[in-house]
């Protein structure tokens, strides 16, 4: 379908909301409602009667789906969320969302791209229009894309100052041979070399209805379903099939002048949802991955007990799982 014009979108959404209005004497707890359209689009909502609403579009299009020819394209895609679309200019998107006190954010992991908006319930129609435009009708004008280079360099510089980010990035590079070894950040040799065509092609190959999910909190399911049916049935098909990640293991050491050492020891576990995954979850809690007292030493942790016997120096250690890491705009 064509991108929504402001008047058309607001009229349809208002009609859907008005049709659902009833006199409510008491709020009844609601369950999560899930609908899967024939196109493959999943729509899920939770009506919690909150005065504020949050709507998100999740797309199976993380950096693991990048190829050697477009390494770093998802980093640019995160930053391009506020650029001109077919239905709204960059200025209109920024000004329109701010005018109603809303916010638009884009987060990416190695698996997904996540576009979300927050607003007051009465302003859903306004911010939803911009969310649909950003996810379904980007233009990626060449001069706007080229202007993102300085922001890419700033992102990389900030990430370089974070030891935690450096550890996780190096961890994935050492652990996987392909797919999940791709970085959340544009590699140096591709900075300034990601063009408008790269973005268009990546969106065309990965932003299909079957790879999308529309989620909402504080919104009626019928309203969200109507939006999904009318505006997110954009492309059929399953899109590009990503290669299965191949675990290889290895070691990476990054030299630095910081006074503290950040280290991670990782092993391959099991896929989420399998019986083996439950065993690893129990192991994680035995090592001390469960709840602990705020500002406490979590002395019951087997891992902390072992490290405490090995050194008298200050330390911080915790077990966990890192299937992917998110990076915010």
User: What are 163-187's pLDDT values in tens digits?
Assistant: 889 988 999 999 998 999 999 999 9
pLDDT at 241: 80
Helices 124-136 and 221-231 pack at an angle, to 10 degrees, of 30
The pLDDT assigned to 323 comes to 41
* CATH of span 33-257: 3.30.830.10
Q: What is the pLDDT of residue 298?
A: 63
**CATH 3.30.830.10 residue ranges for the chain:** 33-257
Report residue 270 CA to chain centroid gap.
23
C-alpha distances (whole Å) from 239 to each of 3, 37, 227 are 20, 17, 22
Half-sphere exposure of 169 (CA within 13 A, CB side): 17
Low-confidence stretches of the chain (pLDDT < 50) are 19, 21-25, 323-329
pLDDT value of residue 324: 38
| Residue 325: per-residue pLDDT | 35
* pLDDT at res. 23: 45
pLDDT score at 22? 44
pLDDT of residue 12: 57
- Token representation of residue 198: 């790269």
């Amino acid at each position: 379908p064509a991108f929504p014009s402001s008047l058309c979108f607001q009229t349809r959404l208002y009609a859907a909301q008005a049709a659902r209005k009833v006199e409510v004497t008491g709020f009844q707890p609601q369950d999560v409602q899930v609908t899967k359209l024939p196109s493959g689009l999943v729509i899920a909502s939770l009506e919690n009667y909150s005065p504020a609403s949050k709507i998100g579009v999740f797309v199976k299009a993380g950096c693991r789906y990048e190829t050697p020819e477009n390494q770093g394209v998802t980093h640019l895609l995160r930053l391009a969320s506020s650029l001109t679309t077919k239905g709204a200019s960059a200025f209109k998107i920024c000004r329109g969302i701010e005018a109603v006190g809303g916010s638009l954010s884009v987060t990416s992991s190695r698996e997904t791209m996540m576009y979300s908006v927050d607003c007051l319930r009465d302003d859903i129609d306004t911010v939803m229009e911009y969310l649909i435009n950003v996810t379904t009708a980007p233009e990626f004008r060449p001069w706007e894309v080229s202007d993102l280079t300085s922001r890419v360099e700033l992102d990389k510089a900030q990430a370089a100052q974070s030891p935690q980010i450096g550890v996780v990035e190096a961890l994935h590079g050492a652990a996987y041979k392909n797919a999940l070894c791709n970085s959340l950040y544009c590699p140096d040799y591709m900075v300034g070399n990601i063009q408008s065509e790269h973005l268009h092609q990546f969106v065309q190959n990965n932003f299909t209805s079957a790879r999308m999910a529309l989620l909402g909190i504080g919104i009626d399911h019928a309203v969200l379903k109507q939006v999904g049916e009318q505006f997110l049935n954009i492309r059929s098909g399953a899109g590009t099939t990503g290669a299965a990640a191949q675990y290889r293991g290895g070691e990476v050491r990054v030299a630095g002048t910081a006074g503290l050492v950040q280290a991670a020891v990782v092993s391959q576990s099991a896929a989420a949802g399998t019986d083996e995954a439950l065993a690893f979850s129990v192991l994680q809690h035995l090592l001390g991955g469960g709840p602990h007292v705020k500002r406490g030493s979590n002395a019951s942790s087997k891992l902390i007990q072992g490290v405490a016997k090995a050194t008298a120096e200050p330390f911080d250690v915790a077990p966990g799982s890192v299937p992917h890491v998110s990076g915010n705009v």
